[in-house]
């Protein structure tokens, strides 16, 4: 199928072709450009009627950086990505690639590599033909196309499947073809919207590492969308956490996990229970009156304690100086790789404590029984208090 047929096909809009090729499916040859390009968004907003899908978002993505947009469903991740791609125009704000203002530039002139949740591959073409497509549109010489396609297929470990039709591939293999097609023309910016959500857990985890590896080799500035916090922590140089059309916090995985700016971020990342606490001279007070020592200054306003399942300590694990938290055990659950203990705080919510299981199931032998009361531990450094 040639470009003209593609454009005539009702199933493939001009935008779809642009997404597949990173360029207008037009006669003019767009040369592949080397080197990555930073993205700078300032005050981007987008409304649908009265609803603010994106609300005054500013974000800088460094050249060559892997940045992930993370947030719950409806938080505006795809809207922001679509504005960067050019599928959606903002009502306000400015978007730059490097020093160029691209706010109003049509999608087919942005030269982006894109991967979406649905692979949007051409099913009747072979793997190699799919990957070659963006280069053919650019009218690269046949020999260069062959060489480049072979190299990129090697990168995504599909070197042996170039002649296979896409309709004869597994989901994970199709996703790799989509990846190969997105990077084959050396785009300076790659955008991915939940590209792994259709895959099962094992394949998803393998692909996370592969995409990261591919990014290191290609070096394109990458904006990646997911609502899976583990995926974001695994893959990103930085994570922008979104909620209700805004970026709530942007930082390295460690900053986001260890120093969340508020209860939303703390609750969204990690296995966290948020507990209302009151400020006290030396720390914070639980509803039952227990004092917990903290390190560092308390934030102003209403406070929440963010209890992480792996940071809570069993009574026999507590070092001197650890805070002690009285709880009543409700359940001990065997989950293969770990044990999960669910316990109620005095007058407060149910909290989780997780312990990895090394070796045999022996760990559960020493675990308490439902109904028992215990003093769990929490070191002052792990006593994370955030604004509500
Ligand atoms: N074309 C549209 N018309 C009306 N509302 C829209 C439109 N596109 C998006 N929205 C709304 O804007 C909000 C943000 O949508 P968006 O697709 O950006 O969310 P998301 O963070 O990508 O969510 P998900 O994780 O479910 O994909 C949602 O409430 C959505 O319903
Ligand atoms: Mg989305």
Q: How far apart are CA 39 and CA 221, in angstroms?
A: 8
Q: How far apart are CA 75 and CA 242, in angstroms?
A: 6
Structure confidence at residue 357 (pLDDT):
87
Band (23; pLDDT cuts 50, 70, 90):
low
Phi and psi at residue 363, to the nearest 5°: -55, -35
Structure confidence at residue 1 (pLDDT):
37
Q: What is the mean pLDDT of residues 353-362?
A: 77
Phi and psi at residue 253, to the nearest 5°: -50, -40
Q: How far is the CA of 237 from the centre of ligand 1 (A)?
A: 25
Closest residue to atom 8 of ligand 1, CA basis: 79
Q: How far is the CA of 74 from the centre of ligand 1 (A)?
A: 5
pLDDT exceeds cutoff 70 at 173: yes
| Highest averaged pLDDT of the listed ranges 1-5, 16-20, 318-322, 364-368 | 318-322
Q: How far is the CA of 46 from the centre of ligand 2 (A)?
A: 15
Least confident of 21-35, 180-194, 266-280, 370-384: 21-35
From 76, 87, 191, the mutation candidate for ligand 1 (largest count of ligand atoms within 8 A of CB) is: 76
Whole-number CA gyration radius for the chain: 25
Atom of ligand 1 nearest to the CA of 225: 22
Closest residue to atom 30 of ligand 1, CA basis: 74
CB 179 within 8 A of CB 211: yes
Percent above pLDDT 90 for the chain: 70
From 47, 50, 55, 78, the mutation candidate for ligand 1 (largest count of ligand atoms within 8 A of CB) is: 78
Closest residue to atom 25 of ligand 1, CA basis: 73
Closest residue to atom 6 of ligand 1, CA basis: 48
Structure confidence at residue 367 (pLDDT):
79
Nearest to 244 by CA among 44, 48, 51: 51
pLDDT digits (tens, 9 = 90+) for 298-316: 999 999 999 999 999 999 9
- Name the 3-class secondary structure at 336: coil
Closest residue to atom 5 of ligand 1, CA basis: 48
Atom of ligand 1 nearest to the CA of 76: 18
Atom of ligand 1 nearest to the CA of 81: 18
pLDDT digits (tens, 9 = 90+) for 33-79: 457 899 999 999 999 999 999 999 999 999 999 999 999 999 999 99
Closest residue to atom 11 of ligand 1, CA basis: 53
Q: Which residues surround ligand 2, an ion (CB under 5 A)?
A: 78
Structure confidence at residue 7 (pLDDT):
34
Q: How far apart are CA 330 and CA 307, in angstroms?
A: 17
Ligand located closest to 74 CA: 1
Beta-carbon contacts of 81 under 8 Å, excluding residues fewer than 6 positions away, are 69, 191, 193, 223, 225
Residue list, ligand 1 pocket, CB within 6 Å? 48, 53, 71, 73-79, 227
Phi and psi at residue 314, to the nearest 5°: -75, 155
Residue 91's H or E segment, with its range, is: none
DSSP 266: H
Atom of ligand 1 nearest to the CA of 75: 21
Q: What burial letters (b/e) apply to 311-347, b meaning 16+ CB within 10 Å? A: bbbbeeebeeebbebbbebeebeeeeeebebbbebee
pLDDT digits (tens, 9 = 90+) for 204-245: 888 898 889 889 988 999 999 999 999 999 999 999 999 999
Q: How far is the CA of 178 from the centre of ligand 2 (A)?
A: 18
Atom of ligand 1 nearest to the CA of 79: 18
Q: How far is the CA of 358 from the centre of ligand 1 (A)?
A: 43
Neighbour-count burial of 7, counting CB atoms closer than 10 A to its CB (0-12 exposed, 13-18 middle, 19+ buried): middle
Closest residue to atom 16 of ligand 1, CA basis: 76
Atom of ligand 1 nearest to the CA of 227: 25
Ligand located closest to 70 CA: 1
From 45, 68, 74, 248, the mutation candidate for ligand 1 (largest count of ligand atoms within 8 A of CB) is: 74
Q: Which two tokens stand for residue 131?
A: 């990957």
Nearest to 347 by CA among 287, 258, 261, 268: 287
pLDDT exceeds cutoff 90 at 140: yes
- Name the 3-class secondary structure at 317: helix
Q: How far apart are CA 344 and CA 327, in angstroms?
A: 5
């Amino acid at each position: 199928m040639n470009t003209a047929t593609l454009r005539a096909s009702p199933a493939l809009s001009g935008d779809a072709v642009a997404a597949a090729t990173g360029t207008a499916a037009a006669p003019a040859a767009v040369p592949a450009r080397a080197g990555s390009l930073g993205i700078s968004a300032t005050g981007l907003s987008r409304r649908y009627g009265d609803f603010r899908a994106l609300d005054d978002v500013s974000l800088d993505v460094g050249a060559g950086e892997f940045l992930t947009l993370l947030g719950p469903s409806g938080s505006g991740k795809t809207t922001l990505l679509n504005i960067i791609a050019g599928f959606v125009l903002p009502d306000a704000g400015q978007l730059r690639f490097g020093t160029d203002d691209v706010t109003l530039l049509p999608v087919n002139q942005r030269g982006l590599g894109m991967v979406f949740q649905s692979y949007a591959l051409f099913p009747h073409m072979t793997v190699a033909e799919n990957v070659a497509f963006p280069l053919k549109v650019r009218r690269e010489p046949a020999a260069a196309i062959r060489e480049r396609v072979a190299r990129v297929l090697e990168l995504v470990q599909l070197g042996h499947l170039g002649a296979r039709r896409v309709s004869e591939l597994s989901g994970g293999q199709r996703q790799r073809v989509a990846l190969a097609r997105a990077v084959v023309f050396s785009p300076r910016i790659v955008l991915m919207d939940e590209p792994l959500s259709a895959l099962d857990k094992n394949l998803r985890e393998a692909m996370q590492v592969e995409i990261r590896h591919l990014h290191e080799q290609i070096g394109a500035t990458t904006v990646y969308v997911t609502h899976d916090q583990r995926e974001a922590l695994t893959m990103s140089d930085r994570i922008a956490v979104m909620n209700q059309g805004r970026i709530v916090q942007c930082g390295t995985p460690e900053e986001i996990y260890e120093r969340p700016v508020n209860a939303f971020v703390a609750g969204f990342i990690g296995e966290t229970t948020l507990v209302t606490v009151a400020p006290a001279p030396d720390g914070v007070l639980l509803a039952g009156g227990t004092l917990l020592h903290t390190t560092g200054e308390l934030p102003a306003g209403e406070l929440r304690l963010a209890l992480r399942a792996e940071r809570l300590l069993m009574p026999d694990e507590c070092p001197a100086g650890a805070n002690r938290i009285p709880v009543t055990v409700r359940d001990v659950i065997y989950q293969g790789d770990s044990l999960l203990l669910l316990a109620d705080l005095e007058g407060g919510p149910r909290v989780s404590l997780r312990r990895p299981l090394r070796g045999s199931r022996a760990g559960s032998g020493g675990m308490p029984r439902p109904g028992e009361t215990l003093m769990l531990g929490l070191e002052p450094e792990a006593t994370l208090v955030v604004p509500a």
